[in-house]
Structure 1
Amino acid sequence: MRRPAPLPASPEEPTPDDVADSASPERRRRPLLRFGATGQRDAGTRVGAPDVGAPDAADPDASGVKPVSGSDSDGYAVTAVIEDGERDAGQPAMRSSEVWRAARARRKALRAEIRRFTQRSRRRRLAVWGSTAALVALVLGSMIAAYSPLFSVEKITVAGATSIDPAAVQRSLSDQIGAPLALVDADRVASALAEFPIIESYALEVRPPRELLVRIVERTPVGAIRDGNAYSVVDAAGVVLSTSAERPESTPELDITGGLDSAAFHSAGLVMRSLPADLRATVTQVRAASGDDVTLSLADGKTVVWGSEQDSARKAAVLVRLIAAAPQSSTFDVSSPTVPVVG
């Protein structure tokens, strides 16, 4: 009996490594990029794909570089990256004359700006110094003019004097003649005018170059009160203006209970001050036993019941209208100005 022939050998099963090697073609090593004609390699040139994590070469805004694509003699892609501030080899070089002109223009602009600032500062300083000099000159000129003999008192003028003689006032101020206008002694003027009781107030005015003006406000006499064998003319404040043996015809007689320091005199004085000048000139007598019963007697025989000094201005206006409306009446009661009585 013959033995059967042996089975043919089965092919050897491939290993996983062999399968992997047969699945991928043999990878060829990429040759190194050759240097250029100058023999030096560009420091900004990168071969092949960019490194992982580096900015995308296609996005010039992602990094401050400027990509330039091309290929070498073997057909490999080459990407050249030009950093900021570097000049591309394809761009023409800036000429030295252009650099010189740019620097010159910059220096010229800088000098113009400095010159403009300097001129503005100089103008400001000149304006300040000019104003200061003008002020100093004005002050010095005023002082020289004020204390100069060219501006001394040579004439004294009195205004507002009706009851006193202006010449008497001028004589009392004669010691101010020759004094500089700016050095008129106000205290000596006040002492001289105090000799005139009728002067209630005054004001001095300087009128260059040589005149001194004295404005006087006289006291208003309200009546003459009997003091023993004489009459004293007084104003509303009780200041004695003059004394005479006979009562002046233009001054009404005061019949006051309590004298000059009483409330009756105070009310009578305020009533006389509130009357219009033409109506006050017709009053011949003022009677007051207290501060609430002031009575006036007029030259034509009329009698005015005034009452207190309250609302005196309103009472005076009502009295003027009543006399004009009823001139034949002899009694006018304005103690209550809202309801006056005519009799």
Structure 2
Amino acid sequence: MSTRTARRRPATAARRRPSRGPSRRTVLRRRLVAILVLVGVTAFVVTVWFTPALGVREVEVAGVVDLTEAQVREVAAIDEGTPLVQLDTRAVADRVHRLSRVAGVTVERVLPSTVRLTVDEREPVAVVKAADGAHLVDATGRDYAVVASPPDGVPELTAQPNAVAAAVSVLTAVPESLRREVSLVRAGSPADIRLTLSEGREVRWGSPEDTPRKAAVLDVLLTRNGTVFDVSSPELPTVSDGPE
């Protein structure tokens, strides 16, 4: 055997020698870190879910106009100290939505301890006068509140029960410039809707069908002299000086 071959063998053996694993101290340190992380995560979960540390301390209410913040808080029924993560926001929203003036509500958790309720109140588009007061009707046709006197600028509605939705749909779809002139909406049926405008003028609208086209035709008709403007058939509109 040559001297060169003999010298190579120790080097080959060194290359094949298995590497040493982590020391016992390193293993213990890693285990300790893992245990501490687990304990920390567990403590955090327990704190968030089962203690009042991140519980409700304040309920903010925004967006109210006719309602009061106290009314909304009362019906929301959010117990102080309830952990935020356990708060059933859908149930809270359902409770607030029971208020007849509420059209919608958003419930938000705001860390560390606040619940924010943003209320969207219904707005009247018409008013129905009755013995017990003025009934406010919103854009969906819902009678949602009774007040002592009708608000300014809101037209009166006289309609059969089955025609309320149709009458309101016409009123909310016409251009704002025309809506401001409407003082009375009458609906004997869903196909017989009539608008009373300023200066005693009457618009015979018919049904809610083709409302945008009828509004465009009426805009031209109103430039003519007359008191009755019939756009129930927008292909054949008419203008007359009195009831037929």
Q: Say yes or no: TM over 0.5.
A: yes
Report the equivalent of 2:7. Answer: 101
> Alignment partner for residue 170 of structure 1, among 73, 82, 101?
73
- CA-to-partner distance for each residue in 1:208-253, whole Å, 9 max, x for gaps? 1222111222233332234456442233444331224654444321
> Alignment partner for residue 182 of structure 2, among 283, 302, 315?
283
- For the pair 1:205 / 2:108, whether they are aligned, the reply is yes
Give the SS at the match of 2:9: helix
Unaligned 5+ segments in structure 2 are 23-32
Q: Distance in 2 between matches of 1:192 and 1:151?
A: 23
Report the equivalent of 2:126. Answer: 223
* Equivalent residues in 2 for 1:1-343, closer than 5 Å: 94-95=1-2, 97-111=3-17, 141=44, 144-145=47-48, 147-173=50-76, 175-186=78-89, 189-190=92-93, 192-227=95-130, 230-244=133-147, 246-256=149-159, 258-259=160-161, 262=162, 264-275=163-174, 280=179, 282-299=181-198, 301=200, 303-312=202-211, 314-315=212-213, 318=216, 322=219, 326=223
Give the SS at the match of 1:221: coil
- Give RMSD over aligned pairs: 4.5
Report how many residues are paired.
228
The residue identity in structure 1 corresponding to 2:64 is A
Bigger radius of gyration, 1 or 2? 1
- 1:138–1:226 Cα change, 3 Å: same
- Could you tell me whether the CA contact under 8 Å between 1:286 and 1:296 is conserved in 2? yes
- Could you tell me whether the CA contact under 8 Å between 1:220 and 1:273 is conserved in 2? no
Q: Distance in 1 between matches of 2:232 and 2:109?
A: 47
Q: TM-score, normalised by structure 1?
A: 0.50
Q: Distance in 2 between matches of 1:266 and 1:212?
A: 36
- 1:215–1:245 Cα change, 3 Å: closer
Structure having the larger proportion of residues in helix: 2
Q: Distance in 1 between matches of 2:42 and 2:239?
A: 68
Percentage of identical aligned residues:
28
Unaligned 5+ segments in structure 1 are 1-93, 120-129
Higher relative contact order (CA 8 A, sep 6+): 2
- Could you tell me whether the CA contact under 8 Å between 1:159 and 1:216 is conserved in 2? yes
- 1:171–1:191 Cα change, 3 Å: same
Q: TM-score, normalised by structure 2?
A: 0.66
- Could you tell me whether the CA contact under 8 Å between 2:47 and 2:53 is conserved in 1? no
